[in-house]
Amino acid sequence: MQKQDGRSTGPRSLQQALLRGAMLKCPACGVGGLFHRYLKVVDQCPQCGESLHHHRADDAPAYFTIVIVGHVVVSLVLAVEIAYRPPLWLHAALWMPLTLALALVLLAPIKGLLVALQWALLMHGFDPDAKEEIGDRLAPPSA
Ligand SMILES: [Zn+2]
């Protein structure tokens, strides 16, 4: 796998990349860490040098986290309400901490999965044949 500006040129397995991203590892090698802080993606993999700064995650990780956590928590709230009819204070004491904990636990793996998806599908600047991006635009052709 040759490198071109820190971008690998070999074949990319979508399934393997998604698994590595969800495990918070570099989608290219699976060894280096994907984040250097809670949700800050490293510019380059510390292990293999793969450029990872091309990702465009924006609000997608938060959106998918809200969808997943909402479906889990609302289902549990309804099931517990129908089965036990607990007082409202007990609902609040149960579901608010669970919602917060689930969101914090799922946010990083979901962001890692989305970065890996972009890497595996050669989106944005992850394509080794693409020109270097300037902000959200491609660089003008050099003369
Ligand atoms: Zn790597």
For the chain, the domains span 3-131
Rounded to the nearest whole angstrom, what is the distance from the C-alpha of residue 44 to the centroid of ligand 1?
Answer: 8
DSSP code of 125?
G
Q: How far is the CA of 115 from the centre of ligand 1 (A)?
A: 13
Q: How far is the CA of 60 from the centre of ligand 1 (A)?
A: 23
Decide the pairing of beta strands 137-138 and 7-8. Answer: unpaired
State which residues have CB under 5 angstroms from ligand 1, the bound ion: 26, 28-29, 32, 45, 47-48, 50
- pTM for this entry: 0.83
For residue 75, the SS3 value is: helix
Q: For the chain (length 143 residues), average pLDDT per consecutive 10?
A: 67 93 96 95 95 90 97 97 97 97 97 96 85 58 50
pLDDT in tens, 10-40: 778 999 999 999 999 999 999 999 999 999 9
How many whole angstroms from 19 Cα to the centroid of ligand 1? 14
> How, if at all, do strands 7-8 and 3-4 pair?
antiparallel
